[in-house]
Every structure is written in structure tokens, then in C-alpha cells.
Amino acid sequence: MFRELLERWPVVKQIRSGDLRATGETAWSPQTHELRPKIHDCEQTRSICPYCGVGCGQVIYHKDNRIVQIEGDPDSPISRGHLCPKGADTKELHTHAHRLSQVKYRRPFATKWEPLDLETAMDMIAHRVWQTRKHSFTEQQEGEPVMHTQAMAHLGGATLDNEENYLIKKLFTGGLGMVCVSNQARI
Ligand code: SF4
């Protein structure tokens, strides 16, 4: 009993292990030994920060279908594990209490937003795009063929990749005749 107590005495542990300043394991309590990082038993998925065009790499740590943490991806050749304060807080995009998870619509002249189901919102957008194109499409200008509409524009997102931008350009310019297409919101 006495020997057991003596061996738990920090000074004895320090002398035995050579940790005379008590900055190593001798300063650890049993609780400290049990501590694990919160990402300890999470699965990892690689992704890209959605905020701006730099496209920093991220590692998403998740468990039981819940995001536990999002950190910089050390394997990303773009950012090498770093994230700016905005990117470092990406988890809040998913978990913040003020996150909108439903389409909001403000009718003409209304002062308040109202919830709308996604299916209805998509139908409304498609209808308006088609109507706008129908009424504004110009085949000729000053005797020259132009085949375009200047009544609509497209503003993309920062993490659109080459393939997505290719398809957007095909649809909006080739298909609908839009000339104002920007591939991303500016940083
Ligand atoms: S917002 Fe910050 S972390 Fe995200 S891509 Fe831009 S620079 Fe990188």
C-alpha cells in the first residue's frame, strides 16, 4: 500500500523517468491519458471550401451522419492545410441555428418572406427564364444575325469546376443565348 502510494508520488515518477522539470508524462493525470481529440474516431471526406475562388482544400470529419469538424487539408496543393477564418468556420454553414433550410420567396410588393417548396420554386424559375428568353431573344441587330438575349445574366458559384462551367456555358449561352455569364461571384 505504502509502496503503491510512493510510486504515484510525482517526485518519484519524475526521478525515475528523468522528467525532472515535470513537463512530460509525469505531469499527466489518468484523465489526461484518456483524452482524445474530438475527431478521434471520425470518418474523413475531402472537399473544397465553398466561400471563394481560392478553393482551399478541406477535410470533413463526420460520424453517424453528423459533421464533427472541418479542417484544412494538408494534402491540398492550393492551401497545404491552411484555411482563412471564414473557411475555418465552415462547419457553421451546416450547424448554425440561423441557417436557412427552405426556399424563401418575397412576392412583388410584399414586405415579408414566405416559405416555398423547392419543386414550386424550380418551376417558377424555369417558367420565368423561358418567358424572358421568349420575349427578349433577338435574332438580328442592324441587319446582322446576333441570336442572343441581354435580358438575363448568370452569376456562378466560387467552387464551380471546369466541367460544371463548361455545361453552364453550353446551356446558358449556346442553349438560351445569354451573353452575360460570369463563372463566379468575386472574392
Ligand atoms: S474563403 Fe478562405 S478558406 Fe475558403 S477558399 Fe477562400 S481563402 Fe480559402
Residues linked to residue 116 through DSSP beta bridges, in sequence order: 103
- Cite the beta strand spans of the chain per DSSP E: 43-48, 57-63, 66-72, 103-105, 114-116, 138-141, 144-155, 178-182
Query: 29 falls in which pLDDT band (50, 70, 90)?
Result: confident
Considering only CA atoms, which of 46, 35, 40 is closest in space to residue 68? 40
Kindly state the average pLDDT of the residues 4-27.
84
In this structure, how many other beta carbons lie within 10 angstroms of the beta carbon of residue 141? 10
CA of 102 to the centre of ligand 1 (A): 26
Q: How far is the CA of 43 from the centre of ligand 1 (A)?
A: 23
Kindly state the average pLDDT of the residues 58-78.
Answer: 96
Residues 6 or more apart whose Cβ sits within 8 Å of residue 133: 149, 151, 152, 176, 177
Query: Which grid cell is 72?
Result: 484544412
Taking residues 43-64, report their average pLDDT: 92
Nearest CA to ligand 1 atom 4: 87
Mutate to test the pocket of ligand 1, among 47, 54, 73 (most ligand atoms within 8 A of CB): 54
Residue 76, pLDDT > 50, answer yes
Whether residue 187 is predicted with pLDDT greater than 70 in this model: the reply is no
pTM exceeds 0.75, yes or no: no
For the CA of 88, the closest atom of ligand 1 is: 3
Residue 98 φ/ψ region, left for φ over 0, alpha for ψ in the -120 to 50 degree band, beta for the rest? alpha
Q: Which residues pair with 42 in a beta bridge?
A: none
Tally Cβ neighbours within 10 Å of residue 182: 10
Query: Distance between CA 45 and CA 60 in Å, rounded?
Result: 5
82 alpha carbon – ligand 1 mean position (Å): 9
Distance (angstroms) between ligand 1 centre and the Cα of 79 equals 9
CA distance 22 to 1: 24
d(CA 110, CA 33): 60
How much is the pLDDT for 28? 84
Domain architecture of the chain: domains with CATH: 2-34 (no CATH), 43-95 (3.30.200.210), 103-182 (no CATH)
pLDDT in tens, 131-170: 999 999 999 999 999 999 999 999 887 777 788 889 999 9
Ligand 1 surroundings by CB, under 6 angstroms: 49, 51-52, 54-56, 79, 83-84, 86-87
> H or E segment at 32?
helix 30-34
Q: What is the CA(7)–ligand 1 centre distance, in A?
A: 51
Q: What is the mean pLDDT of residues 99-128?
A: 96
